[in-house]
Amino acid sequence: MDARLSQFLDAEVERTRLRFLRAMPLMSLLLLPAVAIQLAVAPRAALGYLAFAICGMGFPLALDDRRSPRLNLVVVALLPVVASGIVQLTRGALVAASSFLVPILFCLVVGAVSFHLRPRLVVAAGALGALFWLGNYGLLLRPRLDPALLHDAPFDWTSQATRAVFMLAFTGAVARSVGLVKVMFFHAAAAARAHDLFAKYRLERLLGEGGMGQVWAATYCPEGGFVRPVAVKVIHEHLAAQPAFVDAFRREAEVSALLLHKNIVQVLDFGREGERWFLCMELVDGITLATLLQRVRRAGRQLTPSVALFVAREIVEAVGYAHVGATDLRGRPLKLVHRDLAPANVLVSRTGQVKVTDFGVAFARGHGESTRSGTGERPGGFDGVVGHLGYMSPEQARGERPDAQADLYAVGVMLWEMLAGRRLFAGRSQTSVAAATAGARVPEVRQARPHVGRGPWDAIIARATAAERSAWFPSAREMAQALCSALDQLGWPDERDLMALVQAHAEEAPIARAKPEVDAVEATVELLDGDSATPDGIEDLPTALVCGAPAPRRLARGDVAAAPAVHRRWQRPVAS
């Protein structure tokens, strides 16, 4: 991008210079009628006009691009002497010494050629021009002036020095201005380069940054002319230099691109620009579930049981597709386990859509491979314990090979937190969170939120987080059916309920400064929001695809009037 911009600017500067050089002969030709008139009135003055016309036509030839810039500098610096000599010969030394025409003409020429010369050469031209002007006055003009006038303005040394200082100051200001413009163009080129990938992605604003890289809200703008908002994940340059990391990042892109489901953020493109590797994804206009829960809790509100059950069902639909529905290009089932399900990796859009993102640490049970974008994989593809503490099942935390239950356990924990309005496993350190998770029995929601009471969600959470394998849901489909049955019993929420909730809280200021992603520690456990004395007070750093575009207006509590008029009440999906 910077090369194209530089070429464009160079071409524009050259065109401007050529226009000026071509204009000088044209302006000189316009002096010829004045020469004809002056011949009849004042023949000597006519010679002056004619001399200026000849110089104007010859000046473009004097500035030869093939000549050394220093020689061109001398040509420009001699202009005051030549012009003053013409005035002296045609109008006399008195006019030549008193006129300000020559310094002004010199400054105009310097301004015209300043982009063609280096700033130092422009200053040098001004210094030489001022020096030549003083030398011309002292050697040629002053001896020809009446001695009685030498101590009066504008014929004294003070007046001539003023003209010389004017020429020097003007050329210095021009050189400084040209230098600033060039620096500005340089920074513009650097910014354009940093915000442009393959000339089809324009990075608009930073959404989040972690140990792996940055996620940008971007615009897809190919040569076809249409545009589309997207999200672009760019990995850090020091990681891009590690072949093992790049290979894992490529596998993540390959696997994620195969996940075509309405509840999974779609991967659109993968590539490289220079030393930067990037992943282009669908941009979701909304916020993470983690941010939504924290802002709802801060506002003193709670998610209704029907909305919480619906969000959980959408998440289960996504991971259920990854477990049994996703296939590779040959039609072989991938049997992906997400392994990092947490509110920070669930997006809720302004239109009420729920989408799961970040399959970067997914484990393909069908092929025995991990898509983790990192290093240190073990033989056989399984790379140990990965995920958010507080959402990993005890089996996953112990380092056992993950299965579908690991994802369903995380959904059970998130459902509990959506209903209870607080974190289930919270602690002041990673160790305390891990200790609270291992083998702990999940309490009923009513123990944390008494006014909720008992409900069909209790049995769902108990099965999803049970310690005995025999009590687990056999599959995500079974858990989705249980969630649908609970929604049939409670009533499916209206689409506008979730839309209004997201719109009401999407534009709020962050609860606290976003905490950077914590690098993997022992056993490669990633802890994003539990390593704090008040873990519920820190918003998760968005790690993907969250767009904070302004809403038409911020909705007040219970206000759904701004929701679209066309809406529906969610219903149980029809079995195929």
Instruction: List residues with catalytic annotation.
Output: 340
How many residues belong to the chain?
A: 576
Question: Cα–Cα distance between 73 and 122 in angstroms, integer?
Answer: 8
Residue 454, both tokens: 């008992």
Strand order in the sheet with 267-273: 196-197, 201-209, 213-220, 228-235, 276-282, 267-273
Q: Could you tell me if 211 and 188 are in contact, meaning their C-beta atoms sit under 8 angstroms apart?
A: no
Question: Cα–Cα distance between 168 and 40 in angstroms, integer?
Answer: 39
Q: Which amino acid is at 348?
A: V
Question: Cα–Cα distance between 376 and 558 in angstroms, integer?
Answer: 50
DSSP state letters, 125-144? HHHHHHHHHHHHIIIIIGGG
Helix 305-320, helix 404-420: angle, nearest 10:
160
CB atoms near residue 194 (< 10 Å) = 13
Residue with tokens 């200021």: 509
Question: Cα–Cα distance between 460 and 456 in angstroms, integer?
Answer: 7
DSSP state letters, 52-103? HHHHHHHHHHHS-TTS-HHHHHHHHHTHHHHHHHHHHHHH-HHHHHH-SHHH
485, with CB counted inside 10 A (0-12, 13-18, 19+), is middle
CA angle, residues 467, 469, 471, in degrees to nearest 5: 85
Q: Which residues contact 388 (CB under 8 A, 6 or more apart)?
A: 340, 341, 342, 344, 526, 527, 528, 529
Q: Could you tell me if 517 and 539 are in contact, meaning their C-beta atoms sit under 8 angstroms apart?
A: no
From first CA to last CA, the distance across the chain in angstroms is 51
Helices (H) and strands (E) in the chain, counts: 19, 13
Q: Which residues contact 501 (CB under 8 A, 6 or more apart)?
A: 292, 296, 303, 307
Q: Which residues contact 149 (CB under 8 A, 6 or more apart)?
A: 94, 155
396, with CB counted inside 10 A (0-12, 13-18, 19+), is buried
Q: CA quadruple 281, 287, 288, 289: dihedral positive or negative?
A: negative
Q: Which residues contact 123 (CB under 8 A, 6 or more apart)?
A: 171, 172, 175
Phi–psi pair at 443, nearest 5 degrees: -75, 165
